[in-house]
Structure 1
Amino acid sequence: MEDPTEQSLWRPLHDLLARLDAEIGQIYTDRDVKGLKPTWVRELLQLHLKGPMTITELADAIGRTHSALSQKVAAMRAAGLVRTVPGADARSKQVTLTAKSKKLVELLAAEWRATEAAIAELEAELPYPMSQVVRDVEEALARKSFHDRIAEKLQ
C-alpha cells in the first residue's frame, strides 16, 4: 500500500496554523511567561471578564464541547493558570483564574488586540483575505457537510 499521507491538501493549513500559534507563543516566551499556550487565551480572558464559570458555561461561551473544555481546563490547571472547585451540584466544577493568570490578563488582552491587528495587516496584503476564505468554506459546507463529502468518497 502506498502511504496516503504523502500528499495532503489539508497539511499546509494545519502547518500554517501551527506556525502562527508558535509565533504567538514566542511573544509569551519573549516576555518570560511560562506554561501558557496561545490556544488558552480566549478561555482565560472569558474567565477574567465574566468571572468564575462551570466548564459547561465556559464551553458555551466560546462555542466548544464540554469534553474539549474539560481537557483544556485540566491542562490549564496543571500549568497553574486556573483552579477548579466543586460547583452547585456534584457533577459540575467552577473554573476560576489563579493569581498567576490574573497577573497575565492585561498582556493577554493586549496580545489578542495586537494579533487581530497583525491579521488585518496580513489580510490587506493578500489578494483574497483569509477571513473571506473561511466565510466561503462555511457557505460551501452549509450546502453539503464535510462529513457527507467524505462519506461519499468512501462509498
Structure 2
Amino acid sequence: MRTPPDPAAVGTLLRHVLDLLDGDVARVYRQQGLPEYRPRFSPVVRALLAHGPLPVRDLAAAVGVTHSAASQTAAQMARAGLVTHTPDPHDARRRLVELTDRAHALLPRIQAEWQATAAAMRELDAELAMPLGDLLAQVARAVERRPFGARIAAAHQR
C-alpha cells in the first residue's frame, strides 16, 4: 500500500483517489470478462441509453465533459466494438454515436457492475464525514462560482 499524497497537494490527492477507485472498477470489469470495458465508458453508455444516438457535441453535454474528451472516449469505445458512428439523418455533416448490438448484449453484465459499484460507494460514503459525490459536487459549484485561478490571484495580492 502506497502512502497517500500530502493533503496540501490536492490535485495529486484527487488523481490518487480517482486511480484507486477507477483501478478497482476496471479490475472488476476484467474479472467479469470485460477487459476492453473502461469505467470512463459508463457515463457514455448511460447517456446513450437515456437519449438514444447522439452527436458528439450533445453526448459531451449529456456526460458533462469537453467535446474532445467525449470524442476520444467514443473513439475508444468504437475500437472496443461498443459504439458506431453513423450519419445523422437530419444533418449530413454530423455523425451520431450509437451503441452497437454487442454493447446491448453486454448490458446485463455492465449494469450488474454498476449496481455493485453503487453499493460499494454507499458503503464507502458511510465511512466519510459526507458522501464523496456530494463533496465533489460542492467543490465543483464553488470553483464554478469563483474559479481557482481567481482565488490564487487574490492570494498573491494579499
Give the TM-score category using the shorter length: 0.7 to 0.9
Which consecutive residues of structure 1, in runs of 5 or more, have no partner in the other structure?
1-5
The Cα offsets for residues 11-70 of structure 1, whole Å up to 9 and x where unpaired, read as 122111111101001111111112111011121132234322221222222222222211
Q: State the 4+ residue runs in structure 1 displaced beyond 6 angstroms.
A: none
> 1:80 & 1:31 partners in 2: Cα distance?
17
Kindly tell me: are residues 154 and 40 of structure 1, through their superposed partners in 2, closer, same or farther at Cα, counting changes over 3 Å? Answer: farther
Structure 1 residue 129: Cα displacement? 3.3
* Residue among 82, 92, 95 paired with 1:93: 95
Taking the TM superposition and a 5 Å limit, the aligned residue runs for 1:53-132 are: 53-87=54-88, 88-132=90-134
Structure 1 residue 8: Cα displacement? 2.6
Corresponding residue number in structure 2 for 1:18: 19
> 2:97 & 2:56 partners in 1: Cα distance?
7
Structure 1 residue 150: Cα displacement? 3.5
Over aligned residues, Cα RMSD in angstroms?
2.4
RCO (CA 8 Å, sep 6+): is it higher in 1 or 2? 1
- Would the aligned equivalents of 1:47 and 1:96 in 2 still touch at CA under 8 Å? yes
TM-score (norm 2): 0.80
Corresponding residue number in structure 2 for 1:137: 139
Matched, 1:9 2:25: no
TM-score (norm 1): 0.82
Partner of 1:95: helix, strand, or coil? strand
Partner of 1:36: helix, strand, or coil? coil
How many equivalent residue pairs?
150
Name the % identity: 36
> 1:106 & 1:64 partners in 2: Cα distance?
26
- Would the aligned equivalents of 2:40 and 2:73 in 1 still touch at CA under 8 Å? no
